[in-house]
Structure 1
Amino acid sequence: MRLTTRTNLAIRTLMFCAVNPHLTVRKSDIAAACNASENHLAQVVRTLGQHNFIDATRGRHGGLQLMRSPSEINIGAVFRVFEADLPFAECFSPANTCPLVDACWLRNAIHDAVEALYASLDKVRLSDLVEGNDGLTALLRFHAPPGCTRPGRDLPAGQGVASVEEAAARSPGRPA
């Protein structure tokens, strides 16, 4: 089985947002960190927003944040959003032309394998992918360019942060 680029980018986007919980991140930040096209990422972001995984705000001060805690985001559900409409094999497509479809037992085996994959992914939460994963955090932690600051969104009023490092310091259990 091979995942689509869209599913791969969706998971990368969610991980980037989870690693940077007190920041509103931008598509360009994610694209740079994940070696992705911003145009392709825009399609993924739109779908993630439509399915309430992220809050995407447009405009100059816009960006992305998770709509739910990472522990509430089921990876199997994300995969289904991006993969469910794509038939795994021709025999699962409404446009199927395979003459063996009525007698082929491989179709049942493939169906069972795909369902087993989703059942396995249903056990995984976004938090399982990011919490305690120092290597991933080091790769995806947002670092503002020199002289540039971005305030955190979920901090109490009047407690904006001067830097990303301060936001990380305020996030328990997260290294700066």
Structure 2
Amino acid sequence: MRLTIRTNLAMRVLMACAVNEGHMVRRAGIAKVANASENHLAQVVHLLANEGYIETTRGRAGGIVLARKPDEITIGQVFRHFEAHVPFAECFAAHDNTCPLQAVCRLRLALSAALEAFYKVLDDMTLADLVADNAGLEALLNLPHPDMMMPQEGCNGTGLN
């Protein structure tokens, strides 16, 4: 199993927001510390905002903050929002399923049970669990407050740097 890049980036954005809880972070700052393309990150930020995980504010003092407390965001929820559209195997696809074994395949049943167990573990884990007492993560994702940034460091007019 391999997660999509979007899911991976979504978790990086959420962890960065949780580590920096209490102040807005800029998209450019997250892209830098998360080793991600700012354009790709912009798409993920948009999806996270649409799903109600983060709030975005445009303008000079803008940025990104969590829309909910870290202990209210389960990792299973996030993964489902980003991975649900990607079938685990061909036989899980509603369309484009050409597997001739589908009606009698026991592997599909085993894979379904395994996926359910996978999500159950993630449902029991919150964003708070990922960041609490994690000094290494905090050192990597701690970003400067936008209002403390020098003007040349960052505003390109979108407020979501």
Q: TM-score, normalised by structure 1?
A: 0.80
3-state SS of paired residue (1:64)? strand
Question: Which structure's CA Rg is the greater one?
Answer: 1
Change (3 A) 1:144 1:62: closer
Name which structure has the greater RCO, CA cutoff 8 Å, separation 6+: 2
1:89 aligns with 2:89: yes
Residues in 1 aligned to 2:144 and 2:61: alpha-carbon distance in whole angstroms: 17
Residues in 1 aligned to 2:103 and 2:22: alpha-carbon distance in whole angstroms: 54
Deviation of 1:26 after TM superposition, in Å, equals 1.0
Matches within 5 A, 1:105-144: 105-143=106-144
Q: In structure 1, what is the equivalent of residue 154 of structure 2?
A: none
- Do the aligned residues in 1 keep the contact of 2:74 with 2:127 (CA within 8 Å)? yes
Deviation of 1:102 after TM superposition, in Å, equals 1.1
Residues in 2 aligned to 1:144 and 1:13: alpha-carbon distance in whole angstroms: 16
Q: In structure 1, what is the equivalent of residue 30 of structure 2?
A: 30
Q: In structure 2, what is the equivalent of residue 164 of structure 1?
A: none
Q: Relative to total residues, which structure has the larger helix share, 1 or 2?
A: 2
Residues in 2 aligned to 1:144 and 1:126: alpha-carbon distance in whole angstroms: 21
- Give unpaired runs (5+ residues) of structure 1: 151-176
Aligned residues: 148
Change (3 A) 1:144 1:23: closer
Q: Cα deviations across residues 18-65 of structure 1 (Å, max 9, x unaligned)?
A: 001122111101000000001111111111111110001233332100
Deviation of 1:104 after TM superposition, in Å, equals 1.0
Q: In structure 2, what is the equivalent of residue 18 of structure 1?
A: 18
- Give unpaired runs (5+ residues) of structure 2: 150-161
Q: In structure 1, what is the equivalent of residue 57 of structure 2?
A: 57
Q: Counterpart amino acid of 1:131? A: A
Identical residues among aligned pairs (%): 57
Q: In structure 1, what is the equivalent of residue 78 of structure 2?
A: 78
Q: Counterpart amino acid of 1:97? A: T
Q: In structure 1, what is the equivalent of residue 148 of structure 2?
A: 149
Q: Counterpart amino acid of 2:86? A: L
CA RMSD of superposed structures (Å) = 1.5
